[in-house]
Chain A
Amino acid sequence: MDTTYKTNSAAYWENLPLDETDQDQLYAFALSEGKPCHLDKFVHPIVEAHCQRELERIVALQKEGLPYQPAESYSVGQDLRFAALGHRLGTIKSIRKGHNPRFGPFTVIAVELESPTELREFVSDFPAAHALNLPVAPEDKAPKVDTVIQLYGQYIREQVAEALLSNQEFVSYNGLWLLKDLLLEVHVGHLNIAEAMIDVAGAPIAPEELLAEMDFPEDADPSLQAFSLNYALTQDARFSNTGTDEKPLWHLVRLLQEGENT
């Protein structure tokens, strides 16, 4: 059985299977953040969750058989996993005294290995240094989340973007993503205030200025207020952004048309 970390391979991240669990992860992350987040911020929890799932898979596999270590003492009937033999599993059938003047006293375990079934012998209680004695914690070989993002972030970002796009629970504006449920309510009154402000000014107005006149909850994050307002204005045919996505300037379509006609 293969106990190498799939999360170490490019192939895994290039064809990241973003399933329902991942969608739940994206939802949970967006909810905990509570404000609009850039695509990059969604990548981290997804990579972290995949690394964690892989670690759990490997730990479960390793529990099926203790990793064989020459220095250890064993008893008949124990199941062991042999790292140097492609992680094959085996059961100890008998134990005898070992003999080799080169080393101190040691024992020899006869192990019935699986796939294919065969009986082979291994040292135990071995007094000399042996490479297999070095304990390797499963997470030691597991890739670090930041390393994965550094190496494969480009592929993961593309797939996270696809997952967000296909998810009806999310809305986006200017590369930021937010749960629909977290949008602040921008009601008709708010939109009418915005329209009146621009009308009076006779010129486009930045969202921060418009927000100053609106009664959004004071404890709402400014980025959430701006996102909610910008998103609502994009959905209303009266308004047009004459700035950029990063620095929007909201104008009235009506005034723009009047300007064109004069």
Chain B
Amino acid sequence: MLYLRADVNTEFQIDWSKIERPDLNRTQVMEEYLCASCREELEKHPDSQEMVDGVDMVTGEVHRVSLVHEHLVICCSAQPDYITPTTPLSTALFRALLATWNHRLTPLELQKQLGVRRSNPEAILRLLTRGPVRESIIPVPTA
């Protein structure tokens, strides 16, 4: 595997291995971002970690994710308070990746997710590549 020098067309994704601990799994992390109605619905569900086939309503692609992640993508990420103008940029990028199944996005695509008025691809690239790894977002290695 190669890590190429990153640019605005380099794909990034969340590396869960940098977040998960014996006492904290990804589903618990994502539960924090659920909207009130999904939270209520999933609290009644016997297993919110149940894996489902999340369906991308634009491409038809299937993403094998937890029920929580599926709700986050389909419902909660569309709520106005999911990413707001005051959400710190690194947090906003983390949420934008979750909202797109954590498939992989380039700084150009991430900026589109955040809205054109928010930041710019170069600033996003700088944030993701300089200094400490932000919100466990790393470049996707090329094969």
Contact = CB atoms under 8 A, between A and B. Distances in A.
A123 B52 contact: no
Interface residues of A, number: 23
Interface stretch (A56-64, A95-103, A218-226): A95-103
A84 to B, nearest CB: 4
Interface stretch (B14-22, B28-36, B58-66, B124-132): B58-66
A216 interface: no
Interface string B66-78: 0000100010000
Interface of A: 68, 70, 82, 84-85, 98-103, 106, 108, 116, 120-123, 126, 128, 130-132
B55 interface: yes
Contacts of B74: 102
A84 B62 contact: no
Contacts of B70: 100, 102
A52 B62 CA distance: 37
A70 B53 contact: no
Given A100-B70, A102-B70, A132 B53 contact: no
A84 B60 CA distance: 8
Interface of B: 51-55, 57-64, 70, 74, 143
A103 B55 CA distance: 10
Contacts of A121: 53, 61-64
B52 A99 contact: yes
Contact of B60 (A68, A99, A102): A68
13 contacts: A68-B60, A70-B60, A84-B59, A85-B59, A99-B51, A106-B53, A121-B64, A122-B61, A122-B62, A123-B62, A126-B55, A130-B57, A132-B60
Contact of B52 (A68, A101, A128): A101
A121 B64 CA distance: 9
Given A99-B52, A100-B52, A102-B74, A131 B61 contact: no
B8 to A, nearest CB: 18
Given A120-B61, A122-B60, A123-B62, 19 more contacts: A70-B55, A82-B59, A84-B58, A84-B59, A84-B60, A99-B51, A99-B52, A100-B52, A100-B53, A102-B52, A102-B70, A102-B74, A108-B53, A121-B53, A121-B62, A121-B64, A122-B61, A126-B60, A132-B60
**Most chain A CB neighbours (cut-off 10 Å) among B55, B63, B74:** B55
